[in-house]
Amino acid sequence: MRLRDAIQAFGEHLRHEVRASPATTRAYLADLDGFHAWLVERTGDEPDLEALHVANVRAYLGTLYASRTSTTLARKLSALRTFGEFLRQRGWTPENELQLLATPRRRHRLPVALPVEDVTGMIEAPGPDDPLRLRDRAILEVLYGAGLRVSECANLDLDDLVETQGHLHVRVIGGKGGKDRLVPLGRAAARALQAYRERRGTLLRPHSPPRALFLGNRGGRIGVRAIRTLVSNRSLETGARARISPHGLRHSFATHLLDSGADLRTIQSMLGHASLSTTQRYTHLSLGQLVDVYERAHPRAARSPEASSEAGPRTAPRARPNRR
């Protein structure tokens, strides 16, 4: 059996049997296509399933080592392993020998979280009072105020707003392993949504999806890419300390809650994390503030004037969230 035909069958398996999200399916198939293209270039022939073995996969990942991060290499190996297991379960190969390959060690990077004042500046940046600007304000308020993933924000419908209880119904997109959840909707986000909904009708077109909450410039449901562009450009325009993505606002949401005393279980529930270990990453983000509080409060922690002058002024701790 040709490798190309098996990859196509794996794609159908992901879409119709696993019901993976479109993004997950595209990522898996892109990684497998990359391996297939490398084999074709290397051999000059269309490979069959016998080409999927440890030596070839190790050689392929080796060619990427200098130009890819360990996280990317681990993802590609994971895709190939999953594909190998699919072939074994279908009886197309006797075993999945790719399980023998060790996963590249990942470098754990802390997520970027902006200070409260930078997020406030992004959301409250002045601009024209038109429907698109009101929509952008509402999107930023919801991303930060509810800690949504960008795909969850793009897929919000009008009936996901539980206005009588001040909550937002978040539908989990396939592949995240969590459950649908209700998250509180802060007053600022609720006001921004109300202002946008009063003008949303001017964005409607004959082809507009009637239930979609956030509409794009041409009347369709707004896309993930458009939201990413909005957040990235707004952080640059307002002089934020880092140019961030929508996930950066999600990290900021969690970090600011933690700084204000929220417990990890509560944050886990609002973020929709399946595992508490994922949420625990945010404890590291607040370590700098913890040191600042300790040095200001503990009588034996005060540094000498000489040490202070040599070290220079410490960065002021972030303000506690007061917008909700």
Rounded average pLDDT over 209-236: 96
Q: How far is CA 67 from CA 86, 110, 199, in A?
A: 29, 21, 47
* Higher per-residue confidence, 111 vs 188: 188
Give the residue from 35, 28, 34 showing the smallest Cα distance to 9. 28
Please state the pTM of the whole predicted model: 0.61
Give yes or no: 282 in active site. Answer: yes
| Catalytic residue, candidates 135, 149, 251, 318 | 149
3-state SS string for the chain: CEHHHHHHHHHHHHHHHHCCCHHHHHHHHHHHHHHHHHHHHHHCCCCEHHHCCHHHHHHHHHHHCCCCCHHHHHHHHHHHHHHHHHHHHHCCCCCCHHHHCCCCCCCCCCCCCCCHHHHHHHHCCCCCCCHHHHHHHHHHHHHHHHCCCHHHHHCCEHHHEECCCCEEEECCCCCCCCCCEEEECCHHHHHHHHHHHHHHHHHCCCCCCCCECCECCCCCECCHHHHHHHHHHHHHHCCCCCCCCHHHHHHHHHHHHHHCCCCHHHHHHHHCCCCHHHHCHHHHHCHHHHHHHHHHHCCCCCCCHHHHHHHCCCCCCCCCCCCC
Percent of the chain scoring above 90 in pLDDT: 57
178-187, pLDDT tens digit by residue? Answer: 578 888 888 8
Is 314's pLDDT higher than 80? Answer: no
| Catalytic residue, candidates 247, 281, 323, 324 | 247
Is 42's pLDDT higher than 60? Answer: yes
| Catalytic residue, candidates 68, 176, 221, 228 | 176
Is 164's pLDDT higher than 90? Answer: no
* Higher per-residue confidence, 286 vs 129: 129
Rounded average pLDDT over 305-323: 43
Residues 6+ apart with CB under 8 A from 17: none
Give yes or no: 256 in active site. Answer: no
Residue in the structure block whose two tokens are 């993004």 = 23
Give yes or no: 149 in active site. Answer: yes
Give yes or no: 179 in active site. Answer: no
| Catalytic residue, candidates 250, 251, 256, 318 | 250
Residue 202: the pLDDT is 96
Give yes or no: 76 in active site. Answer: no
Is 306's pLDDT higher than 70? Answer: no
Give yes or no: 247 in active site. Answer: yes
116-125, pLDDT tens digit by residue? Answer: 999 999 999 9
Residue 101: the pLDDT is 86
Rounded average pLDDT over 188-195: 93
Q: Which CATH number fits domain 3-100: 3.30.70, 1.10.150, 1.10.3470, 3.40.50?
A: 1.10.150
Is 90's pLDDT higher than 90? Answer: yes
* Higher per-residue confidence, 192 vs 264: 192
Which class would CATH give 116-285? mainly alpha
Residue 163: the pLDDT is 67
Residue 66 binned pLDDT confidence (cut-offs 50, 70, 90): confident
Rounded average pLDDT over 262-272: 87
Q: How far is CA 229 from CA 23, 106, 121, 170, 235, in A?
A: 18, 28, 17, 22, 10
| Catalytic residue, candidates 36, 76, 273, 318 | 273
Rounded average pLDDT over 144-172: 87
Return the domain boundaries, the chain. 3-100, 116-285
Residues 6+ apart with CB under 8 A from 288: 315, 317
